[in-house]
Amino acid sequence: MTERTLKDRAAIVGVGATPYYRRARSLPQTTNDLAIKAILAALDDAGLGVNDVDGFALYGGSFIDVSLVAQILGVPEVRFTAGLTGGGGGSAGSIGLAAAAVATGMADVVVSVLTLQQANMRFGASFAPKAKGGVGAYSAPTTPESVFASNAGLMAPGQMFAMLVQRHMHLYGTTRDHLAEVAISTRNNAITRETSLMKDPLTREQYFDARMISEPFCLYDYCMECDGAVAVITTTPERAPDLRNDPVYVMGTGHGGAGRWGQAITWMGMPDEYFTSSGHRPSAQRMYDMAGVGPEDVDVALLYDHFSGMVLLQLEDYGFCGIGESGPFVADGNIRWPEGALPVNTHGGNLSEAYIIGMTHVKEAVEQLRGTAVNQVAGAEVALVTGGPASIPVSGLLLHR
């Protein structure tokens, strides 16, 4: 029997994206239009065509209808179509799912894609209850579980993650200066990139003058609400070397989380030992075990940054510093590009480049390992990509060149 691992049994061979837009500005394109443009760009990047595609590995619904996209594109035969449950926490893990498909022979060329258009919905209020008479149309239906949060007015992801970071500050002395370091260092990476929606430098004064949204998070602790699509093409290690660009190999991956992490931010009942975490500890360990490396081997980290403070908690859960030590770790300049020991979100992240629910992080990891990134980490050989913090699943992906 073959060893049960995905290590080096799949490779990313193509990445592609649409332009990124502020919320609703991608109209009149549809979400499927955006997805297809990204898929075609990623196939072109790989030197492949639609006739090569036979699989889809998605997450969070990915907002595409595979049946319609395959029909519009004229995919010869779909042999694999699956998605991770949950939401944005599956971004990195969707590549693990693609790797599982090609490693087991279920498909050869697998598309992962995330397309997003926030014209008729807003992630910023994604758990908002509808008022009587239908006000608050952005939200999901109220459920017997969700009212235990929404009746207190807890209805926005930023408010929910603020709870975790607030307690982290209380337990470990983490400060708003530490959050500012994440926001400012990420912005510094965005300003050099044509693709970024936020190209102006962010000063410490601007950060502390900004309005509070949900304490301790101010405006600049939040990612943006965006439109756009990013696609990634995964294939077998046998096929990968003959394609247009250097392959980037899947080294390790994991997704999921402790059962009692559960819905996490919408129930707040997580055990005390990991309440102030990103939920990533169990899957991070499985990912490292599969890869046979540890945090000291990671050259660049693309950490899902919907909120500045959750970058801190991931730095701890992925072992780059001790639990509770992420504040001083970033204060020492460790996450800055190019001089830091662990450059983080060299593409400007969800916070400052664009929020395409984590898929820009996969694209950046591939570009870093090809050596073609705008903000290139010299000699980068191993890249970490994460999806979430979120309810189950969260996910991680280690790639190497």
Q: Based on CB atoms, which residue is closest to another protein, 246 or 267?
A: 267
CB of 315 to another protein, least distance (A): 20
Which phi and psi angles does 225 have, rounded to 5°?
Answer: -100, 120
Q: Based on CB atoms, which residue is closest to another protein, 267 or 340?
A: 267
How much of the chain is helix, strand and coil, in % rounded to 5?
35, 15, 45
CB of 389 to another protein, least distance (A): 15
Please give the helix or strand (H or E) that residue 198 lies within, else none.
none
CB of 259 to another protein, least distance (A): 8
CB-based contacts of 12, cutoff 8 Å, min separation 6: 95, 232, 233, 234, 247, 248, 249, 250, 362, 366, 399
Q: Find tokens 């990476």 and name the residue.
A: 189
Q: Based on CB atoms, which residue is closest to another protein, 139 or 314?
A: 139
Cis status, amide bond into 343, omega within 30 of 0: no
Helix/strand number for the chain, H first, E second: 12, 12
CB of 330 to another protein, least distance (A): 21
Q: Is residue 366 helix, strand or coil?
A: helix
CB of 132 to another protein, least distance (A): 5
Active-site residues, by number, are 304, 355
Cis status, amide bond into 393, omega within 30 of 0: yes
- The amino acid sitting at 308 is S
Q: Based on CB atoms, which residue is closest to another protein, 29 or 139?
A: 139
Report how far apart, in Å, the C-alpha atoms of 385 and of each of 71, 258, 298, 304, 398 are: 31, 20, 10, 8, 6
Which residues of this protein are in contact with another protein, per CB under 8 A? Answer: 124-125, 128-133, 135-136, 138-139, 142-145, 147-156, 159, 162-164, 166-167, 170, 211-217, 259-260, 267-269, 271-272, 275
CB of 157 to another protein, least distance (A): 10
Written as six digits, the tokens of 16 are 């592609």
Q: Based on CB atoms, which residue is closest to another protein, 130 or 239?
A: 130
What's the rounded Cα separation, in Å, for the pair 198 and 323? 31
Report how far apart, in Å, the C-alpha atoms of 50 and of each of 178, 303, 328 are: 46, 31, 48
Written as six digits, the tokens of 184 are 């400012």
What's the rounded Cα separation, in Å, for the pair 32 and 177? 41
CB of 88 to another protein, least distance (A): 18
Burial class for 212, CB neighbours closer than 10 Å (0-12, 13-18, 19+): exposed
Q: Based on CB atoms, which residue is closest to another protein, 12 or 164?
A: 164
What's the rounded Cα separation, in Å, for the pair 243 and 169? 48
CB of 139 to another protein, least distance (A): 7
CB-based contacts of 65, cutoff 8 Å, min separation 6: 32
